[in-house]
Amino acid sequence: MSINYDRGSEWRKWDLHVHTPSSICQNYGGDTDEAWERYISDLESLPQEFSVLGINDYLFIDGYERLKKEKEENNRLQNIDLLLPVLEFRLNNLAGVGFGKLDRINLHVIFSDEIPVNIIKDQFLNTLVQSYIINDGRKWEGVVTKDSLVELGAEIKSGIPAEEISKYGSDLEEGFNNLNLNLENIIHSLNKERFKGKYLIAVGKTEWDAMKWTDASIAIKKHIINTADIVFTASESVVKFNSAKEKLVQQRVNSRLLDCSDAHDHSSSLNKDRIGNCFTWIKADPTFEGLKQVIYEPEERICISEENPFLLFDKPYFSAISIDNDLNVFDGETDLTFSKCKIIPLNQNLVTIIGGRGEGKSMLVEYLASSFVDNEQSKDGIFNKNGAVKILYNKTNSDSEEIISFDIIEGKHPLELFISVRVCLRNMQVKVKRKISWLIL
């Protein structure tokens, strides 16, 4: 269903890395109906600023499929505007070696919600193939399915001494822990007409950062992060996020960094990677196309903050225009008319009036502006001010709307209704100083 966001781009919280009870690794209590009910209820209790969630599971899309059904068929998650399917893979590039632990770089594929789940499964997941020589020269090979991971895990564990087997997980877990994919193969599987413009690539910063800057790895390290459209991190605070971003800038690599929860736990957990622990605000419609805009304007559309960036710069603004009845623009003339319109929402920051030549763009602006400059007429006539045209006005970002009528303004200069004389004088002084500086230079 298509939704029209009439007010244009607004700041909303986006968390693009949220695991589900279907994830192979998670702490929600397993893939049970009880765990799912608690999980969905937790998402439904997110603060109202959360608008978009990337449902991110390892290798498979079952979790997204279930949440999509709950939202569309069972009327759940109505507090969330958009769910996006995200698949997470581990690459076969070793990030670092420390005390026997090998960390793999995580790659995320964010798909448009317009792509059906079966297409993602059939045309992408089922084309990913990996093979290993495991025991006695026997070769394991398979596409990425849960059954194939179980087979891989069983093959791996079959060669483990009996006294060591208790240290290992289930066949599925061990198959998952050992499956690594090639970046170029993933990109190749996405290189289909049906996926064109319908996916974005993200790379996990933490594991990427652990990859050593050695002569043998510099090129591949830069290649991986610069291939990605965006970079994911899960920061403990805004300060730590800013430090991580600055490091990417200094390294002169892709620094389109988004903070995500990487949620594996409920919001009540003390674990950093929990539901709701996300600082990313994106100024865009809550759509996949809106997300794509951050690639081109990251500094303008991404803000990492504990509070809504909308509140960081407090200012008065017009929030909507209403025209109660058909209105002749000029007294005594019927050629030009404003048609009745219940509400025209206005963006707080930028409003553009578009339309064909002679369709009244300039006339509307001139009509509204006339009440602010003590001028009730234009070159075409005297404006008809009968109270039909109103503007909804907010004195501050957090203030409730007030209705302003454009029929009569008495007793004071119009601007004083909205901006104090002190502020007007201060702004005028600033402008004069700037003009003097310009003349001197």
- Tens digit of each residue's pLDDT, the chain (441 residues): 456 778 888 999 999 999 999 999 999 999 999 999 999 999 999 999 999 999 999 999 999 999 999 999 999 999 999 999 999 999 987 655 443 345 689 999 999 999 999 999 999 999 998 877 776 667 788 888 899 889 888 888 888 888 888 888 888 988 888 888 999 999 999 999 999 999 999 999 998 988 888 766 788 899 999 999 999 999 999 999 999 999 999 999 999 999 999 999 999 999 999 999 999 999 999 999 999 999 999 999 999 999 998 887 777 788 888 888 887 888 877 777 878 877 888 888 878 888 888 777 888 888 777 766 666 777 778 877 777 788 777 777 665 666 655 554 444 445 555 555 554 555 555 555 554 454 444
Residue 408's pLDDT is 42
Q: Is residue 304 part of a domain?
A: yes
Identify whether residues 80 and 205 lie together within a single domain. yes
DSSP summary character for residue 416: G
* Strand (E) or helix (H) holding 178: helix 171-178
Give the residue from 270, 294, 311 where a domain finishes. Answer: 311
Q: Which of 86, 72, 13, 76 is nearest to 40 (CA)?
A: 76
Nearest-angstrom CA–CA distance, 429 and 235: 43
Q: What's the CA gap between 62 and 60, in Å, rounded?
A: 6
- Quick one: 344 and 402 in the same domain? yes
DSSP string covering 351-396, please? Answer: ------TTSSHHHHHHHHHHTTTT--EETTEEB--SS-EEEEEESS
- Alpha-carbon gap, residue 150 to 205, rounded angstroms: 29
Same domain, 263 and 398: no
Q: Does 93 fall in a domain?
A: yes
One domain for residues 364 and 304: no
Please say whether the beta carbons of 242 and 250 come within 8 A. no
Question: Same structural domain for residues 69 and 191?
Answer: yes
The DSSP secondary structure of 5-44, one letter per residue, reads -TT---EEEEEEEE--TTSSS--SSSSSHHHHHHHHHHHH
Distance CA 86, CA 60 (A): 9
Which residue, of 285, 311, 337, is where some domain finishes? 311
Residue with tokens 């769910």: 83
pLDDT on residue 36 = 97
Q: 108 is written with which tokens?
A: 């995320």
On whether both 401 and 260 belong to a single domain, the answer is: no
CB within 8 Å of 379: residues ≥ 6 apart: none
Are 101 and 211 contained in the same domain?
yes
| pLDDT score recorded for residue 341 | 79
Residue 351 belongs to a domain? yes
* Domain co-membership, 363 together with 404: yes
Q: What is the CATH number of the domain that holds 283?
A: 3.20.20.140
Instruction: Give Dmax over CA atoms of the chain in angstroms.
Output: 99
Residue 239 lies in a domain: yes
Q: Are residues 293 and 307 in the same domain?
A: yes
Say if residue 281 is in the same domain as residue 214: yes
Domain count, the chain: 2
For residue 27, being part of any structural domain is answered with yes
**Residue 173 domain-assigned?**
no
The two tokens of residue 159 are 């060669």
Burial label, 278 (beta-carbon count in 10 A; 0-12, 13-18, 19+): buried
| DSSP at 166 | G
Residues pairing with 391 in the sheet? 321, 404
DSSP 326: -
Tens digit of each residue's pLDDT (9 = 90 or more) over 328-349: 888 877 777 878 877 888 888 8
Residue 254: how many CB atoms within 10 A of its CB? Answer: 20
Give the strand pairing for 280-283 and 11-18: antiparallel
Cβ burial of 19 (10 Å; 0-12, 13-18, 19+) is buried
Q: What's the pLDDT score for residue 99?
A: 35
> Of the candidates 363, 356, 367, which has an alpha carbon nearest to the alpha carbon of residue 390?
367
- Calculate the dihedral angle through the C-alpha atoms of 26, 27, 32, 36, rounding to the nearest 10 degrees: -90
Residues 265 and 274 sit within 8 Å (Cβ to Cβ): yes
In contact, 283 and 9? CB cutoff 8 Å: yes
Note the pLDDT tens digit of each residue in 354-387.
Answer: 888 877 788 888 877 776 666 677 777 887 777 7
Give the contacts of 123 (CB within 8 A, at least 6 positions apart).
Answer: 192, 194, 195
Region of 32 (left: φ > 0; alpha: ψ -120 to 50; beta: rest) is beta
State the residue range of the domain holding 279. Answer: 11-128+181-311
Name the nearest CA neighbour of 281 among 250, 260, 251.
Answer: 260
Question: Does residue 68 lie in a domain region?
Answer: yes
The reply to whether 111 falls in a domain is: yes
Q: Are residues 367 and 274 in the same domain?
A: no
**Residue finishing a domain among 291, 311, 331:** 311
Q: Kindly provide the residue ranges of all beta strands, DSSP E only, lying in 157-290, ordered along the sequence.
A: 199-204, 230-233, 257-259, 280-283
Residues 252 and 281 occupy one common structural domain = yes
Segment 399-419, tens digit of pLDDT:
566 665 555 444 444 555 555
- The whole-number pLDDT of residue 436 equals 46
